């Protein structure tokens, strides 16, 4: 400390506390996430594949940086990083890459489920999710490639459980879980070669990004109880 600083009252000193730096870093990361998301979604609308390939791998790391600055639980960071692994795998158009991506997302759902804990949820909502799961798998089953039927059904069970349990953390996280289910259902209908909306990749990514953001920001460290 310099002589000038020693003569300055503590209340008058300008400081940059660690919390302030972390908050700034978090805001910068969130801004980067928004920009990358806009580039990615715009690239999908414009059918600019290179833009998608460049922007997509940046999305989850930027969201991870944002939630770490907010003091995110480790399980949340792990869930987002497994989502990142799935994102990277699905950049490759191959059956093996699809299975690897689905496996990575499944591990992310396990992290989310552990993070959500045993908090109470609405049993009526659980019943609605169960009916949606049974109906979706039954309708898709015959149209899915034979070697993907069991993996997709197992993944769908895990995904639906995550979507349902996300409501335990409140409306924001609950909407995030529902959007994640919608996003992956859109992927499954594409694999089953059902009629698609115009620019289906755009809708898949839009719902996925909203889902991950709402889940990530719906988890409050003090409430999560798991670091």
Are the C-beta atoms of 195 and 31 separated by less than 8 Å?
no
**pLDDT, position 94:** 86
Q: CA–CA distance from 2 to each of 7, 8, 11, 15, 206 (Å)? A: 9, 10, 17, 15, 53
Residue 92 DSSP code: S
Residue count of the chain: 227
Residue 8 DSSP code: S
**pLDDT, position 7:** 52
Those residues with Cβ within 8 angstroms of residue 220's Cβ, 6 or more apart along the chain or in another chain: 169
Sequential pLDDT tens for the chain (227 residues): 544 444 544 433 433 446 688 889 999 999 999 999 999 999 999 999 999 999 999 999 999 999 999 999 999 999 999 999 999 999 998 889 999 999 999 999 999 999 999 888 999 999 999 999 999 999 999 999 999 999 999 999 999 999 999 999 999 999 999 999 999 999 999 999 999 999 999 999 999 999 999 999 998 654 444 44
Are the C-beta atoms of 177 and 215 separated by less than 8 Å?
yes
């Amino acid at each position: 400390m310099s002589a000038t600083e020693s003569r300055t009252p503590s209340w008058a000193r300008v400081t940059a506390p660690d919390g302030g730096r972390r908050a700034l870093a978090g805001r910068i990361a969130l801004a980067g996430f928004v920009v990358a998301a806009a580039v990615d979604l715009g690239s999908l609308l414009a059918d600019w594949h290179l833009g998608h390939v460049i922007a997509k791998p940046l999305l989850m790391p930027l969201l991870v940086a944002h939630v770490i600055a907010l003091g995110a639980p480790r399980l949340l960071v792990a869930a987002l990083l497994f989502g990142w692994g799935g994102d990277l795998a699905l950049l490759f158009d191959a059956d093996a890459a699809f299975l690897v991506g689905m496996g990575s997302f499944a591990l992310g759902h396990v992290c989310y489920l552990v993070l959500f804990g045993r908090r109470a949820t609405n049993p009526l909502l659980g019943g609605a999710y169960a009916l949606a799961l049974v109906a979706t798998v039954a309708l898709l089953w015959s149209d899915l490639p034979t070697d993907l039927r069991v993996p997709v059904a197992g993944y769908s069970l895990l995904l639906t459980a995550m979507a349902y349990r996300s409501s335990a953390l409140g409306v924001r996280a609950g909407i995030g879980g529902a959007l994640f289910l919608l996003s992956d259902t859109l992927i499954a209908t594409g694999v089953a070669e059902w009629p698609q909306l115009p620019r289906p990749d755009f809708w898949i990514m839009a719902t996925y990004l909203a889902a991950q953001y709402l889940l990530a920001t719906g988890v409050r460290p003090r409430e999560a109880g798991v670091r």
